[in-house]
Structure 1
Amino acid sequence: MKFAYRFSNLLGAVYRQGNLNFSKDGNAVISPVGNRVSVFDLKNNSSETFPISTSKNISCVGLSADGRLAVVVDQDGAALLISLVTRAVLHHFHFHKPVSSVSFSPDGRKFVVTKENVALMYHAPGRRREFNAFVLDKTYYGPYDETTCIDWTDDSRCFAVGSRDTSTWVFGAERWENLIYYSLGGHKDAVIGCFFHRDSLDLYTVSQDGALCVWECDTEPEGLKLKSQSQKPQSDDEEEDDDDEEKEGEVIRGKAETPREKKKSKNARYKQRSKHFFNKEGDFNNLTAAAFHKHTNLLVTGFSSGVFLLHELPEFNLIHSLSISDQRISSIAINSSGDWIGFGCSGLGQLLVWEWQSESYVFKQQGHFNNMAALAYSPDGQHIATGGDDGKVKVWNSNSGLCFVTFTEHSSSVTCVVFNASGFVIVSASLDGTVRAFDLHRYRNFRTFTSPRPAQFSSLAIDVSGELVSAGAQDSFEIFLWSMQTGRLLEILGGHEGPVSCLSFSPVQSVLASSSWDRTVRLWDMKDSWKVKETLPLTADGLVVAFRPDGQELAVATLNGEISFWNPQTAAQTGSVSGRHDLETGRKETDKITAKQSAKGKSFLSLCYSADGESILAGGQSKFVCIYSAKEQMLMKKFEISCNLSFDAMEEFLDRRKMTEFGSLALVDEGAGDEDGVDISLPGVRKGDMSSRHFKPEIRVSSLRFSPTGRSFAATSTEGLLIYSLDGSLVFDPYDLDLDVTPSSVRSQLRLQEWASAIVLAFRLNEAALKQEVLETVPHQQIAVVCASLPDIYVEKLLYFVSSCLEKSGHLQFYMTWTEKLLMLHTQKLKNRSGVLLPTLQALQKSIQRHSDDLSKLCDFNVYNIRYAEALSKQRGMKRAVDEEEEDEEDECKEEDAEDEGLSEAMSDAEMIL
């Protein structure tokens, strides 16, 4: 169970293609990312990628009305029915043709799938488990070209289908007597969206040339009458060319009606009430996406120029006109309340959620425009930094899976990123000839390191103290050393006769290891005038070098697919692993050799030791990531990072379906002018020819890193940044189990207040929920006694479990007390096993640091609130004092006036007496 890593999350890619959807409550966006589905929670600011995947990139996603089910269809028409509650696949189905759109009815009883020029209506899967979840109900024919969009009426009686042949068809979901099908024209280009008005059969249609047609129906939804069973249905089932799948249900063939046709009863009729144009001045180019919110009558349209418009219908009043970028808007979605609008741009891989009333972004994420090249974990495991071929450095939160800062100072590909020991500085090397340091406090580039003459930096390393920054050049074969404090160039290390491919500082000594294409690894002593301490000869070009966390071993990956292990003290080789057979690379579409022959030229591009130093992670020009035992020099486990056939070099054998009489279909290009067909890519070209007609990126792993806690590892691949973690809730791993260890016996010990015995039994059963129940039942004043009486073997287990609970639980003081007592009462025992406990201690540090950050923010917020309340109370007190003084003055004035009145009355009386 030590290597039971499972796919956990996908970072660095938020949208590729397909349609966006909002969840039922409107607080989350469901986005297709390649052949996976990601959910972005906008309220909690987090992301999650489902552990399911299709065989090719996803083209469309349909959500059920209750938000519990989703139908996911890939480019070939293979569909998955998935549960959004359990994140599990419920059913597999294949439509055999590419599907353009999927839409569930509002009542949740039916869903419609459009492929080519046909609309297929299926019974929606129920809550009971069925052998065949997709039961075909009706097949609708009518459009002459590909269908593009679907929309249902609010009562699920009818649905509309738009087509590329400029027509829109209205079909009845039931066998209505006065509305079986209706064809609407009026457009001169492909229909992008069709939308029913609320509680009506009135229709809005939007076409690619920027035209909006408003259609009015003379029949209300309640006026539709069901056709009697005695009447012969107007269908054409005798067609021989129908598929077997489509013969299961009723077939309805529509043709455009003419006013001359006489009907027995009055049929529903449409008339065009008005027509409007978005693109009057020709500024917006083609209309590419549209969405309509029925309750607010809000129409959102996106264009290929990156502009989107908000209109109020049916008056066609313009509310907003804004631009996202200069790239095409691929998909638009509106949440249930109508406040948030989601936009997807496939060209940039960008996902935006915009609140149109406040005119602000709720969510804005974008992955690397090109491939990711490097990654690094922060020392506490909270952040992950990635560098890409687009010259950007992005920093991701490992808990939420979202990017919170992007640095764009580099002007060329970023080849390496590293965190310093404090975790608040990121240093990156680039092919633009600069090494830059970024501050995560102020989010700025505070230091730029350059060489005396221009050089392309392909490797980077920082020493343990964070004082020395070293970078290797791939064109001048030199290593440059700078001071982090001053930014001055300290030394240029020469001696390599080939490009410097990788650098690594020893964690415990001031020794720098550098691997090069000249088939050597050199150890440089940083104390003794930066001289070469040792030179290790290799059997092939050195690609990657990595120190073990204790600094007592060195691993080197070479071009021949081998990993060799060295003792840096004695410069002796201690072992080697031949990993060429473990890569198991696939063949490209344009390869004329087998995958077995192609694997001979593959090698590992990245190495990383685990936190305890017992295993090493390796990946390279393959879809596999391998974990080797550093002690035994043997393969422990392999992970397949992708099964997406949309990438190149995925299949090991030729696909017979793509074979023609002239050879493989990929090698035959009808537009090629030469006789040889398609040009074969040059050896060593990893990313493909961007100018070719059919470009498929090649699957590969460019960088790998274990998290400091050892509970997860990250891999940058063609898909994005993949996170694999140990999910204990899915793995049953009992320890020292016998018949007496049951949940009832654990709870009986709790009733007897035998706390230590209950904890031991719970850990022997090893169920997370039961262990948490036992721990939280222990009284706070008994924690010290329980910790002192625990057996040694359970101290480590309890400490690890407390560290995992501390990260999620709100009982902060309770679990901090457990941590303190365990560490204080078993100090010497834990010191002796510090190497094994390192991941646990780092997990504890990560949890405590996160709580400290959250509490410090809350305390600061409370301090400012208290200051504000204090100032407000002082202001009110001063105002009250002023008011009281004014009242006293008024009272004195009244008394003086009364005295004056009394004197005047006395004077008047005296005058009368006189």
Structure 2
Amino acid sequence: MKFNYKFQNLLGTVYRKGDIVFSHDGNSVISPVGNRITVYNLKQNKNITLSVESHYNYTAIDVSPNGSVLLAINEKGEAQMISLVTCSVIHKYKFKQQVNAVKFSPDGKYFAACCGDTVFIMTAPTSYTGEFRSFIMKRVYQKAYDDVTCLDWSTCSKLLAVGSKDTTTKIYTVDYLDNINMFSLGGHTDKIVGVFFERKSLDLITVSRNGQVCLWEASIDPDDLIVSEVQISHRKRRKLQKADDSEDDIDEKNVIEKDKDYQSDDDKKSSKEEIKVKEEKRLVFTKLGRHYIGDAIRNANYRVKLTAAHYHKATKMLITGFSNGVFFLHEMPDVNLVHTLSVSEHRISSVAVSPQGDWVAFGCPHIGQLLVWEWQSEQYVMKQQGHSQDMTCVAYSPDGQYIVTGGYDGKVKLWNTSSGFCFVTFSEHSSTVTSIVFSPNKKFFVSSSLDGTVLSGHEAPVVSLAFSPTLASSRLVSASWDKTVRLWNCIETSTDCEVIQLTSDALQVAYRPDGEEIAVSTLDGNITFFNATSCEQTSSIEGRNDLGSGRADTDLVTAKQQLKSKAFTTICYSADGNSVLGGGNSKHVCLYSVKEAVLIKKFVITQNRSLDAISDVVNRRLLSEFGNMALVEERGELEGGDVRVRLPGVQAGDMAERNIKPEVRVQCVRFSPTGESFAVAATEGLLVYTQNAGLDGTFRPFRLETGSTPAAVKSLLEEGSWGRALLGALQLNEHHLIQQCVEAIPPADIELTVRDLEEEYRERVGGSVARLLQDSRHLEHLLVWARALLAGGRLPHTVLLALEKVLTLKYSQLSKICDFNKYTIRCIKSVAEIAPKQEDVEMDTDNESSGRGTFSDTD
């Protein structure tokens, strides 16, 4: 079994906090999920999480106008320039504090970021000049009296409007302009939430937290802005002018004064007119009016605030979201109410509109909800919500196509591994879901909860149960804190059972896929293996030191003492039963070989320092003469206070009610039945790791021979030596070479080629065919391969499950296409049958109206 598992996707969590934006084409929504970024494709109904990972949670993101660059900034001010083409980090930059907002200019040459009361304007990498200029400072403004909250660029990319908590909006310039230096707009009585320029105009719209909307009219157009010939400030220009005047001779000044005395009246008039023209071309804003949004809901509850706003310049639609989950759509500039809807009962923190203006995206951080609403048809394009609290258990369907999760919130969610979306949620449980098991026939699954379940026979609480995976056996194994593991016959009513004594309290128990062995993790950090028939111990693994210490900020014990309390709280066997995967209250997930009892690989599930217990050392800056400052509560301006201290003894609190720093934990690990992936339910969400040999740039040959080279494989294909070419490609283990061989071999020679392969090579061909079936267009050709492989000999269980998974998916897709074509043809046929009848009726009507009908004898 190969162990080159790489992170593939993040499920279970769709939105944490921060900005959400649409892609350049408007088909995808980009959402920050903790310290990762997920792209939701609304056209293909799929999502993908970028492999880029930050050290802290992302809060501010924006996409360049050409859609090729994503600028993402975390809560500590660390900025990353990410290429959406290669999904890699181009450049990094460190701001000194948290960035409240970031925005690209419409021409893509600059971007603005606001930190505290300071606004930075920097150059951005652009395709117009063909050069890469990363984070070069252009202008810096520090004119606000409080933190800057929002900003927006004018269409000409010359002006920048910035709103702040001091209830004012200031106008800044990128270049030095002759007819404007800096402008400040007042009129609001609360902090500014949104500022927006009109399209191809300098008119401005400002929105404050108390629902006030002010409209501002500019005195000039964008084309009237005059860029200074010398790019220096007005103050420095005046100083230089005074210095030049002092260097002039007195005689020259006298001559000038005499000339002024003899100026004619026409010259004086012309000079006054020039001054008047300059004043008319100077930018001045005039308030046209003030409107109030959401008065009805704010009068009912004075705590309701306007928390998010967005303006679509093309359609002149203003979208505002409130802290009670209600949003409004208004048509500007008349502020006419178009639509209103309540999406939840929690705060809307971010709003985005697609470039076409038909889709509106909302993000609710308290419940982790992300939804896209089509306001014209009043329908949900996407509505996804993860678990509001941590997940506790995970289970794969027998074919690996679905994942079911349970959480502390009592909800059970079913996820599609191909699309990454949740398509059904069950809320029948009233307490924490403890375990989930799928039925072998994929038709149902069973969940258990703390809302009332009994087992009897142990002397302490039962912490884990596992059924035998073989259909011929009806045995059940249970693990308890009484330091015993008991094997039961779940069909018989007798209470007799086989007891296995342990050296410590049991935490988790798991059956090997063949049902011949069980693995038990105990409180002392060991994983012990027993024969399921004789109940004899076969081997043991000591893995406490592999988990790592992971000290929290409020811990008062040393790392050495902390390590003594580490243990594997969740374990599972791999699909072939040769290895076991374990995790616990740590950022590490360990993969062990059962036979050799050694560590094969250690996976670091997250590097997010916004979580607790990530680092092995305590920050010494928090230690003072008064004690650990991490134990002191921090209060902010949020409703109810910003509580940062965990309640005593509480391991998993309600994140929506108490704002604490969550601790990194691995609640559950499960291998896919196909063996190609495994899922980790952790504090960050459900992380899915897959193995794609040859796709990560690593050369991993299999029984390589000296004559097996890419050139030799291509030469053999040209000669028609199909078997030898396929054998060389399998030895090189390069996916693209295997694909060339599989697609080049004629259908008539596939059966003979498979028959000549050894068993190990045939297994590898089966895995490659299952992978090719997912995306290849040559469906019938690959089906011939699958039939030949199934008829050629016995394939491993994992390969059969992989083929079943992809064939089930293809069957579903083809069924939808066939149904669509069938009903379309039926509709066309019905219309074709109705059309001649209508033509006959129309012809008869025309004959009667023209008097050319048949006459009777009486007439």
Matches within 5 A, 1:759-798: 759-798=726-765
Aligned-pair CA distance for 1:868: 4.5
Q: What's the counterpart of residue 506 of structure 1? A: 468
- Residues 324/283 of structure 1: CA separation in 2 closer, same or farther (3 Å cut): farther
3-state SS in 1 of match to 2:496: strand
Q: CA deviation at 1:339?
A: 0.5
Instruction: State whether structure 2 residue 284 is matched by structure 1 residue 269.
Output: yes
SS at match of 2:347: coil
Structure-2 residue corresponding to 1:585: 549
Map 1:357-396; keep pairs closer than 5 Å. Answer: 357-396=376-415
Contact 2:389 2:654 in 1 (8 A): no
1:711 equivalent in alignment to 2:676: yes
Q: Are the equivalent residues in 2 in contact too, given 1:662–1:668 (CA < 8 A)?
A: no
Matches within 5 A, 1:395-794: 395-433=414-452, 457=453, 473=454, 478=455, 494-508=456-470, 509-669=473-633, 682=648, 685-687=650-652, 695-728=660-693, 729-730=695-696, 731-737=698-704, 740-794=707-761
The residue type equivalent to 1:800 in the other structure is G
The 5 A counterparts of 1:109-120 are 109-120=109-120
Alpha carbons of 1:617 and 1:223: their partners in 2 closer, same or farther (altered >3 Å)?
same
* 2:553–2:619 Cα contact (<8 Å) kept: no
Give the letter for the 1:63 counterpart: V
| Superposed displacement of residue 41, structure 1 | 0.4
Whole-Å Cα distance in 2 between the matches of residues 602 and 790 of structure 1? 48
Aligned partners of 2:425, 2:376: CA distance in 1, in Å? 27
Q: Which has the higher contact order (CA 8 A, sep 6+)?
A: 2
Cα 1:262–1:896 change in 2 (3 A) is closer
Q: Which position in structure 2 is the counterpart of 1:845?
A: 804
Match of 1:359, as an amino acid?
A: E
CA distance in 1, matches of 2:836, 2:276: 86
**Contact in 1 for aligned 2:630/2:645 (Cα 8 Å):** no
Shift of 1:61: 0.6
SS of structure 2 residue aligned to 1:785: helix
SS where residue 563 of structure 1 aligns?
strand
Tell me if structure 2 keeps the 8 A contact 1:585–1:621: no
CA contact (8 A) 1:681 1:689 kept: no
Q: Which amino acid aligns with 2:380?
A: Y
Counterpart-to-counterpart distance in 1, 2:141 and 2:630: 35
Measured against aligned partners, the alpha-carbon deviations of 1:153-174 in whole angstroms (never above 9, x if no partner) come to 1111111111000010111111
Is the contact made by 2:552 and 2:618 (CA closer than 8 Å) also made in structure 1? Answer: no
2:140 is matched with which residue? 139
Deviations 1:819-868 (A, max 9, x none): 1112213x2xx3xxx5xx22111101111111122223333444444554
Aligned partners of 2:858 and 2:146: how far apart in 1? 103
- Over 3 Å counting, the alpha-carbon distance change for 1:184 and 1:108 in structure 2 is same
Over 3 Å counting, the alpha-carbon distance change for 1:670 and 1:347 in structure 2 is closer
The answer to whether residue 338 in structure 2 is matched with residue 319 in structure 1 is yes
Alpha-carbon separation, structure 1, partners of 2:447 and 2:18: 34
SS of 2:290 mapped into structure 1: strand
Alignment partners' CA distance in 2, 1:702 and 1:662 = 35
Q: Determine the C-alpha separation between the residues in 1 that align with 2:613 and 2:432.
A: 24
CA shift in 2, pair 1:132/1:536, >3 Å: farther
Would the aligned equivalents of 1:192 and 1:208 in 2 still touch at CA under 8 Å? Answer: yes
Q: Scaled by the length of structure 1, what TM-score is found?
A: 0.83
CA contact (8 A) 2:645 2:660 kept: no
Specify the code of the residue in structure 1 equivalent to 2:288. Answer: R
Shift of 1:740: 4.2
Q: Deviations over 1:641-694 (max 9, x none)?
A: 1111111111111213333333332034589xxxxx9998655x4225879976
**Mapped pair 1:279 → 2:279:** no
Q: CA deviation at 1:529?
A: 3.8
Residue aligned with 2:70, SS = strand
Q: CA deviation at 1:747?
A: 2.2
Instruction: For 1:26, give the aligned amino acid.
Output: G
What is the CA–CA distance in structure 2 between the aligned matches of 1:732 and 1:566, rounded to whole Å? 37
Q: Tell me, which stretches of 5 or more residues in structure 2 are unaligned?
A: 240-274, 636-642
Tell me the SS of whatever aligns to 1:532: coil
What is the CA-CA distance between 1:231 and the residue it aligns to? 6.3
| Range with greater deviation from structure 2 (155-164 or 778-787) | 778-787
| 1:872 to 1:743, Cα distance in 2 relative to 1, 3 A | same
Other structure's SS at 2:687 match: strand
Instruction: Give the counterpart letter for 1:32 in structure 2.
Output: P
> Residues 659, 689 of structure 1: CA spacing in aligned structure 2 closer, same or farther, 3 A cutoff?
farther
Q: Partners in 1 of 2:833 and 2:133 — Cα distance?
A: 73
- For the 8 Å contact 1:397–1:403, the answer to whether it is kept is yes
Quick one: distance in 1 between partners of 2:581 and 2:105?
Answer: 48
Contact kept in structure 2, 1:688 and 1:698, CA below 8 Å:
no
Contact 2:124 2:133 in 1 (8 A): no
**Residues 571 and 895 of structure 1: CA distance in aligned 2, closer, same or farther (over 3 Å):** closer
Q: How does 1:154-303 map to 2 (within 5 A)?
A: 154-229=155-230, 233-234=234-235, 267-281=282-296, 282-283=299-300, 285-303=304-322
In structure 1, C-alpha distance between the alignment counterparts of 2:346 and 2:656, rounded to whole Å: 19
Partners in 2 of 1:876 and 1:270 — Cα distance?
Answer: 62
Residue 724 of structure 2 aligns to a residue whose secondary structure is helix
In structure 2, the residue matched to 1:331 is 350
Does residue 343 (structure 1) correspond to residue 366 (structure 2)? The answer is no
Distance 1:609 1:624 in 2: 17
Q: For residue 777 of structure 2, what is the amino acid of its counterpart? A: G
% identical equivalent positions: 45
For 1:87-102, list aligned pairs within 5 A.
Answer: 87-102=87-102
Q: What is the CA distance between 1:575 and its match in structure 2?
A: 1.3
Q: Which amino acid aligns with 1:221?
A: P
Q: Distance in 2 between matches of 1:679 and 1:329?
A: 25
* Equivalent in the alignment of 2:272: none
| Counterpart secondary structure, 1:786 | helix
Decide whether aligned partners of structure 1 residues 13 and 276 sit closer, same or farther in structure 2, where only a CA change above 3 A counts: same
- Residues 421-465 of structure 1: per-residue CA shift (max 9 Å, x gap): 1112121111122xxxxxxxxxxxxxxxxxxxxxxx3xxxxxxxx
Counterparts in 2 of 1:230 and 1:342: CA distance versus 1, 3 Å: closer
Q: In 2 relative to 1, CA 867–177 (structure 1 residues): closer, same or farther, beyond 3 Å?
A: closer
Q: Judge conservation of contact 2:15–2:32 (CA < 8 Å) in 1.
A: yes
* Residue 6 of structure 2 corresponds to residue 6 of structure 1: yes
Deviations 1:603-626 (A, max 9, x none): 211111111000011111111111
Judge conservation of contact 2:123–2:133 (CA < 8 Å) in 1.
no
Counterpart AA for 1:172: T
> 2:257: which partner in 1?
none
SS at match of 1:195: strand
1:48-87 pair list within 5 angstroms: 48-87=48-87
Q: Deviations over 1:625-646 (max 9, x none)?
A: 1111111112111111111111
User: May I ask how many residue pairs the two structures share in their alignment?
Assistant: 805
The structural deviation recorded for 1:761 is 2.2
Structure 2 CA distance for partners of 1:693 and 1:350, relative to 1, 3 Å:
closer
Alpha-carbon distance in structure 1 between the residues aligned to 2:525 and 2:92? 39
Structure 1 position 856 matched with structure 2 position 805: no
1:853 and 1:687 map into 2 onto residues whose CA distance is: 40
Residue 247 of structure 2 corresponds to: none
1:31 corresponding residue in structure 2: 31
Please give the secondary structure, in 1, of the residue aligned with 2:425: strand
